[in-house]
Amino acid sequence: MQKQKCVFLDRDGVLNRELGDYAYRLDHFEVLPRVPEALALLKQQGFLLIVITNQSGIAKGIFQREDMEACHRKLQDTCNHLIDDFYFAPGHQTISASLSRKPDSLMLEKAIAKYNIDPDQSWMVGDVPRDIAAGLKAGVRTIMVGGRHRPADAHTLEAEDLWEAAQLILADTKKPA
């Protein structure tokens, strides 16, 4: 079976507007501009698209899994159902320790095994250092978006948003080997 390439995507701040607390109410859940176009471009080039998201509000009792799933349905509807899978870590370190929770890489590692993903051809796009740390631990290349944080790793690329990140990824895949 041929290895697949993938773009792992953090959710809040990459795909939808970061609200500063928890994005779980449908009326406040806003897909960022150019996200559907960026996902379509990546999909056309053969990338799997997998969301990797911490959702500690579930463990804290702020919202229910059903609220998160409703937001994921809205995201899929807005983006023409281009996302292949969603991995989420509902725990919080003060309530229930979990290796799935970013900055650990278990969510990525599970997806890599399930979908036969080649880490050397894959990327993690995030907006905070824990996203980048998870990607680096899983052995994928990384892009920090949004400009709120500076990447700690010298090999992490920077982009304004997912559209620009997609352009960097596609430019890299066109380079001669």
Supply the residues annotated as catalytic.
10, 12
Instruction: Specify whether the CB–CB gap between 119 and 139 falls below 8 A.
Output: yes
CA 109 to the chain's CA centroid: 13
Instruction: Specify whether the CB–CB gap between 51 and 106 falls below 8 A.
Output: no
Instruction: Specify whether the CB–CB gap between 156 and 168 falls below 8 A.
Output: no
Return the CA Rg of the chain: 15
What is the Cα–Cα distance from 42 to 7, expressed in whole angstroms?
A: 8
Instruction: Specify whether the CB–CB gap between 145 and 127 falls below 8 A.
Output: yes
Record the tokens describing residue 70, joined without a space: 């409703």
